[in-house]
């Protein structure tokens, strides 16, 4: 639920035009209605999760067990004092392969007020769990932090504590904060639009970066889901303490806003599970894009297991560190479209790339036997 609450730097993730990525699609297709439903039912069954209650503590333990089961190695908790009651933020880190010290944060609060909070914010909570399940073994360039905040319903206390005690003192290099809060829609309504939220607050120095992130997400959703998007302003949720110290933020919020937030009627029967499942798909696709997820490639021919390419970036000829015997070489652009393929009948030590325009490409040798990401100048 929203509560109304100062920028130092600007950054941009690689903002190439969004087109469907077949690899991302193959992961998004694994988001399952039944998996979302089962998690949300368990969340609801814990009851009213006010900070300091046994329901809140049991929910925290349950969330932590999921990440342990998924196989995440770095699972931390941060104690948070919420007006004399103690709760915990849950922080899970997945290390990036290329930029291990640069982070994409995806977050949602798990405390509730006056009711079980199936929508506010069980919907965001189970979205994080479903994404974490599917992205665990995917290589990403950037590190990812999944954060389940406590104390949101009492004034963003959990996220404010994290920013004050961890993000700022450790000078974390956070490239984006994606907040997911109340995305379950309303039962018996047409839930066909998701609101993508951007920073429009003062001061304005990181508004441009937020707008860039939000527009990318807005373009991604229709590629991987049945949902349309609408852009609105960010306010009153756990991204705001990050915004206040200059981090670029974006967020998701339902278009049809539930009338049952903070009541005993905030239950599964009063939201739209199909809509929530679509939101989870779009949020996963967005995180894959923001974190620059890469397809793992298996090497079956050990004779080229140490193959390298150079120079990279390349302007003219791309050289191989070993001579390749009659290889098939394919090149794909950043959107997954094949722009070159040739089966050589002789040994090859280099290929000419002058015909390619500037940009990022993926060079594949003998299908998926070996692959390289290159930058063409």
Q: Are residues 122 and 224 in the same domain?
A: yes
Mean pLDDT over 304-321 rounds to 82
Q: What is the span of the domain harbouring residue 156?
A: 22-294
Q: What mean pLDDT is reported for the chain?
A: 91
Q: Are residues 323 and 285 in the same domain?
A: no
* pLDDT reported for residue 9: 40
* pLDDT reported for residue 304: 41
Residues 6 or more apart whose CB falls under 8 angstroms from that of 53 comprise none
CATH number at residue 152: 3.40.630.10
CATH number at residue 313: 2.60.40
Each residue's pLDDT tens digit, 101-116: 999 999 999 999 999 9
* pLDDT reported for residue 17: 56
- Confidence band, pLDDT 50/70/90 cuts, at residue 367: low
* pLDDT reported for residue 373: 85
Domain boundary among 240, 263, 294: 294
SS (H, E, C) the chain: CCCCCCCCCCCCCCCCCCCCCHHHHHHHCCCCHHHHHHHHHHHHHCCCCCCCCHHHHHHHHHHHHHHHHHCCCEEEEEEEEECCEEEEEEEEEECCCCEEEEEEEEEEECCCCCCCCHHHHHHHHHHHHHHHHHHCCCEECEEEEEEEECCHHHCCHHHHHHHHHHHCCCCCEEEEEEEECCCCCCCCCCCCEEEEEECCCCCCCCHHHHHHHHHHHHHHHHHHCCCEEEEEECCCCCCHHHHHCCCCEEEEEECCCCCCCCCCCCCHHHCCHHHHHHHHHHHHHHHHHHCCEECCCCCCCHHHCCCCEECCCECCEEEEEEEEECCEEEEEECCCCEEEEEECCCEEEEEECCCCCCEEEEEEECCCCEEEEEEEC
Q: Are residues 106 and 199 in the same domain?
A: yes
Q: Are residues 307 and 223 in the same domain?
A: no
Q: Are residues 272 and 353 in the same domain?
A: no
Q: Are residues 312 and 252 in the same domain?
A: no
Mean pLDDT over 126-130 rounds to 98
Q: Are residues 362 and 253 in the same domain?
A: no
Domain boundary among 254, 270, 294: 294
Residue 193 lies in a domain: yes
Q: Are residues 284 and 334 in the same domain?
A: no
Q: Distance between CA 240 and CA 210 in Å, rounded? A: 12
* pLDDT reported for residue 190: 98
Each residue's pLDDT tens digit, 32-75: 999 999 999 999 999 999 999 999 999 999 999 999 999 999 99
Q: What percent of the chain has pLDDT over 70?
A: 92
* pLDDT reported for residue 332: 84
* pLDDT reported for residue 13: 58
Q: Distance between CA 239 and CA 225 in Å, rounded? A: 24
Q: Are residues 194 and 329 in the same domain?
A: no
pTM of the predicted protein model = 0.78
* Total number of domains in the chain: 2
Q: Are residues 367 and 230 in the same domain?
A: no
Q: Are residues 189 and 274 in the same domain?
A: yes
- Confidence band, pLDDT 50/70/90 cuts, at residue 22: confident
Q: Which residue has the higher pLDDT, 23 or 45?
A: 45
**Confidence check: pLDDT of 301 > 70:** no
Q: Are residues 217 and 166 in the same domain?
A: yes
- Confidence band, pLDDT 50/70/90 cuts, at residue 362: confident
Residue 4 lies in a domain: no
Domain boundary among 294, 314, 341: 294
């Amino acid at each position: 639920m929203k509560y109304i609450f100062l920028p130092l730097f600007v950054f941009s993730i690689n903002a190439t035009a969004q087109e469907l990525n077949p690899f991302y699609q193959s992961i998004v297709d694994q988001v399952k209605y039944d998996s979302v439903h089962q998690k949300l039912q368990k969340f609801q069954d814990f009851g009213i999760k006010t900070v300091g209650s046994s329901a809140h503590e049991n929910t925290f333990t349950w969330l932590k067990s999921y990440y342990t089961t998924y196989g995440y190695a770095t699972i931390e908790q941060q104690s948070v004092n919420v007006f004399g009651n103690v709760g915990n933020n849950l922080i899970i880190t997945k290390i990036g392969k290329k930029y291990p010290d640069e982070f994409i944060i995806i977050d949602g609060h798990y405390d509730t007020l006056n009711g079980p909070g199936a929508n506010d914010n069980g919907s965001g909570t189970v979205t994080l769990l479903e994404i974490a399940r599917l992205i665990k073994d995917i290589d990403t360039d950037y590190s990812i932090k999944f954060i389940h905040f406590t104390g949101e319903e009492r004034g963003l206390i959990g996220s404010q504590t994290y920013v004050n005690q961890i993000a700022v003192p450790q000078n974390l290099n956070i490239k984006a904060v994606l907040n997911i809060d109340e995305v379950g829609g309303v039962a018996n309504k047409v839930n066909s639009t998701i609101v993508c939220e951007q920073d429009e607050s003062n001061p304005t120095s990181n508004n441009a970066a937020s707008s860039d992130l939000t527009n990318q997400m807005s373009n991604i959703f229709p590629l991987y889901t049945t949902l349309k998007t609408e852009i609105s302003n960010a306010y009153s949720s756990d991204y705001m303490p990050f915004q206040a110290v200059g981090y670029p933020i974006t967020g998701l919020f339902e278009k049809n806003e539930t009338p049952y937030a903070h009541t005993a009627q905030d239950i599964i029967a009063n939201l739209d599970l199909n809509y929530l499942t679509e939101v989870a798909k779009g949020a996963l696709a967005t995180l894959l894009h923001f974190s620059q997820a890469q397809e793992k490639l298996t090497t079956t021919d050990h004779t080229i297991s140490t193959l390298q390419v150079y120079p990279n970036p390349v302007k003219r000829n791309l050289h191989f560190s070993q001579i390749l015997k009659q290889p098939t070489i394919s090149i794909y652009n950043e959107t997954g479209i094949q722009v070159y393929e040739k089966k050589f009948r002789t040994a090859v030590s280099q290929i000419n790339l002058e015909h390619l325009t500037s940009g990022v490409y993926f060079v594949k040798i003998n299908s998926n036997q070996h692959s390289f990401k290159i930058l063409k100048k």
